[in-house]
Each structure stands twice: as structure tokens, then as C-alpha cells.
Amino acid sequence: MIGQFAGLSWRWRGWPMAALCTLLTGFCVAAPPVVKDAATHEQLALQLRKAQQKDPMQGLPISQSEAPSRNQPKDLLSQSDILCFGDMATLLPKRAILLLPTTLAKRGEYTAGAALMGWAEFYAQNRGWITTVEVSLLQAEGSLPLAADITQRLKDATRVVVATYQGGPISVLPLKVPPTPPAAASTTENTQP
């Protein structure tokens, strides 16, 4: 195959460059452009009428009820915790910070003039004083307690500990108290005469 290309290049050596360009443009002839007439007013009006007839939203009655009122906070800051160091700051979901040591308490407050950045960039630049703990969704919703080694790490930690799920910060709700299992209640009934 290399010999074929070598032979091909040998054949074209004697040709002037202008002749080669003319020959190659003949291979790349484009199709003539398609010219269409502009749509008339009647055609546009007909298309609009058809689109309005097919719109399913126009057939729905207008709702008379009010929007559901939820006790949702109106702003992002009330739903977030802040970590700030120097001229950088980031927002985390509430309860994502599992431990904020008293020695680093100032880093949980916003400093005026700090630039707000995403968690990934902020964490990459501040790994020296932040550590993360990967949690499962069951642990984050409070259905499952944190592992014993994690709670031990929290007791001994001197850095800020942030809960993460797949690398991103996540809120960790307080542990839900599980109801007493019915099996324990039935064994006490069987032991009594």
C-alpha cells in the first residue's frame, strides 16, 4: 500500500500547482444553492392557525386555586452554610458541615469581599483544613446511623468535616429514632403467665 502512495506522489511531481488545484476543485464541486421564496403573510397566518388548533394547553381551564404555600425559605443563604477563607467562599447545604472545630469557627462566617465559588474548586484549594466523609443516601436522610469509624473520626478531628455524596456536599439529617420492634414486645408477652 505504501508503494501505491509512493507511485501516486511520483506521478504528480511534474504538474504545476495551479493545475493540481484546478483538478482537485473539480472533485469538490458543491451542489448549487437552493433558493426558496419568502413565506407570504397568508402562509404564516395559516401555520399559526394550525399550531393554535393543535395546542393542548389552550383547552385546559384556567385554575382558580392559589399556589400551594409552603414554608420554604425565600433565599438561598437561609438554606446554606458558608465556608470562607481569605478571599474565597463557598455555599454548602445546611447540615453538610458535620464538624466545625472552635479553632476554625471564623471560617464558617462570610468575610466581606470574598469571591463565591463552587464546592469543587474551593475544596481543591483548601484541602489542608477541610476533610470530607462520604455518606450514603440512607445516612443522609437519617434512616441509618453513621459508621462507628466515622463517628470516631469526628471526635478526634481537628479539621472541618463536610459530608459528601458522590463527591458533592449533602445535608445529613438527624438520626430518626427507630420504633421498637414488635418482636421484642411479643417475647415479653409470651414469658408472662
Whether the CB-CB separation of 104 and 129 falls below 8 Å is answered with: yes
Domain limits of the chain? 77-169
Q: Nearest Cα to 94, choosing from 76, 112, 114?
A: 76
Q: Nearest Cα to 128, choosing from 186, 67, 83, 94?
A: 83
Whether the CB-CB separation of 183 and 118 falls below 8 Å is answered with: no
Q: What are phi and psi of 50, to 5 degrees?
A: -65, -40
Highest mean pLDDT among 2-6, 55-59, 137-141, 188-192: 137-141
Return d(Cα 55, Cα 163) in angstroms, integer: 47
Return d(Cα 134, Cα 167) in angstroms, integer: 7
Report pLDDT digits (tens) over 77-122.
778 899 999 899 999 999 999 989 888 889 888 888 899 999 999 9
pTM (global) more than 0.75: no
